[in-house]
Amino acid sequence: MESDQVQDSMPDSRDAALDTGVLNTLKAGWSSVDFTPAEPAPLAGYTHWSDRMSIRVRDPLMVRALALQQEGEGVLVVAWDLLMVTEELFQGLKSRLADTGFHLIAHATHTHSSIGGFWDSWLARRFLGQYRPWAMGHLLDAAERAARDALASMAPAVASAGSAMLPGLNGNRRDPGGPKDEELTVLRLHRDDDDALLVSYSAHPVIVAERDHHAISADFPGEVVRLLQRDFAFAMYVQGSLGGVDVLFPDDKALSADRNLELMAGPVASGAASLARSCAPAGGGLRWADEEWQPASPDSRAFFDDEGFKIQDRPMRAIADFLLRDVPRRARVCGFRLGSFALLGFQADLGVGIGLGGKAHARTLGVQYPVMASQVNGYIGYLHLRDEYRMAPTVEPHLGMAHYENAMNFFGRDTGDRALAAARAVLDRTV
């Protein structure tokens, strides 16, 4: 997408966001830091017995921070161009920023072409690469710097939000007839001399990893941000539901990663820019809530309940107990509401059914523009609603992908329903 395509949808004046709103006590600040490694690094996102090492940098890896504060309540959203946020990464950043008094949403955009090596466990080494002692400190240093710079830059701001359906860019990879979330959501923050956008859409960032397997890249979320920052001071991408969600990936082996990224990121960026022009004042105050609980024992099974493989249950549970011994038994949902906008974070590849359920409940409470984000504040696997494990897809390649996502549900098939109940409770407490 050329730059003039984004420019055409820009507001005539940055003062447009102030026309129907009155500047209140909301303050916002933002910053970004490059954490691209200087040397080849293991890449995360695929199972390999030997490390998938980077051989080139297609585009830089960034960590972005957005700080919001109103009437004593403060929230920091920190988003790495990274596959996932581990418990250690979340707790490390939370500890470093404890003095700020701000609530933390530590998020990964889930690119499968970013660095790994930051989780020291047998299971993690299969899809993150061998542990590198430098990696954790590298990620934390960059994120802390971005967060503190965002806090230092806070200034009075006006929030507005909007959403629109953007079809044709994702699908259901578990079930060809299953639910999809094609909603693009934007939170715009207008200050006197600049604007920031938080953009969310649901799709799996595997384009570069599939077409340029050894390249470092932020994938399409990074490309969306790059396009938007031609006209906005700052942009941040927050990944939506990932469980059962694919990405625009034409069946053309000759198609380059660059062209595929253009086909995916271009419509998202231009759609977000258009929404930024027309979105309505968010209103309301900034409110935070969270829920934490201990999940059930490890229970990771590939097969559906109606496939008749009950004999496999006991050995699968024993294997899961061994493989997941280093995964913390902590489950949480957290988030904030800012008038008509809300952002809730789940420590999972969030199933699309749960994401849609959370959005539906938010709208009953008057939250017109809710975002349900994957990969927030830790990781406990893929989460789907209990009923989705009783319906075996019959169409390949969906069956293979569904079996994979089933096996990646670490703590049993009721975890997703518990997460949705927690999300509803969090939303209820922000009213």
Task: Report yes or no on whether pTM surpasses 0.85.
Answer: yes
How far is it, in rounded angstroms, from Cα 65 to Cα 150?
6
Q: Is residue 110 in a domain?
A: no
> What is the reported pLDDT for 205?
98
Q: Is the peptide bond before 370 cis (omega within 30 degrees of 0)?
A: no
> What is the reported pLDDT for 190?
96
> What is the reported pLDDT for 306?
84
Q: Is residue 228 in a domain?
A: no
DSSP string across 225-277: HHHHTTTSSEEEEEE---BTB-----S-TT--HHHHHHHHHHHHHHHHHHHHH
How far is it, in rounded angstroms, from Cα 416 to Cα 342?
20
The half-sphere exposure of 294 on its side-chain side, counting CA atoms within 13 A, is 2
> What is the reported pLDDT for 313?
64
Q: Is residue 342 in a domain?
A: yes
Amino acid letter, residue 305: D
How far is it, in rounded angstroms, from Cα 311 to Cα 149?
55
Amino acid letter, residue 53: M
Q: What would the two tokens of residue 423 be?
A: 């999300």
Q: Is residue 412 in a domain?
A: yes
Q: Is residue 309 in a domain?
A: yes
Grouped pLDDT means (10 residues each) for the chain, 431 residues = 38 39 75 96 90 96 98 96 97 98 98 96 84 96 98 97 98 93 98 96 98 98 98 98 97 96 98 96 95 88 79 65 74 97 98 98 98 97 94 84 90 95 98 85
> What is the reported pLDDT for 4?
39
Q: Is residue 308 in a domain?
A: yes
Residue 305's domain comprises 288-429
Q: Is residue 211 in a domain?
A: no
Q: Is residue 388 in a domain?
A: yes
Return the number of other C-beta atoms located less than 10 Å from residue 155's C-beta.
12
* Count of structural domains within the chain: 1
> What is the reported pLDDT for 192?
92
> What is the reported pLDDT for 252?
96
> What is the reported pLDDT for 5?
40
How far is it, in rounded angstroms, from Cα 314 to Cα 298?
11
